[in-house]
Structure 1
């Protein structure tokens, strides 16, 4: 990868806050979150960055046929995910972290600090 590159992983809020109705889905998304966080220092040493986008339920075809009552409270438009991607691209301090994307159009960094 070229120096100054950015790797973007796509996870879900379920990777941070487990969705009890879909434990396997939550576990797989948590793996992406952990993978992103674990690679932050390695990426930085190699002149690149890595970030993870963690949206709530996004309006996609994936939700077609699913009972809307299960997710409508948490639904976000794809434009929110695109905005989070733009933030990750523009903010050079974003590395080894996730961007939580919520229905209130709140995009914030998770975790706030490293251990």
Structure 2
């Protein structure tokens, strides 16, 4: 009985930690998508002030509960002409799964028509 458990236990542990790691990566992907969606909304609708800086701040604040803000890469277009589609991308490069066995790039994006 102990021999069988000793053979199966590493596989069960790997499977368990793999499920936990995948679930956490899925959570972070959702956080990045929401941060990008919040940022593009502000960028596309803000008429006065520095819309890019405000959108960057909104994306950072939206994601900071789950991700260190220094690790985020936020891409915001230079301008937003009325009627055009604009996309904001929030990325977390080289996210490590299962203690660093695998790394993936998590990228969230949001698209919205400028000026509503």
Of Structure 1 and Structure 2, the greater helix share is in: 2
Q: TM-score, normalised by structure 2?
A: 0.31
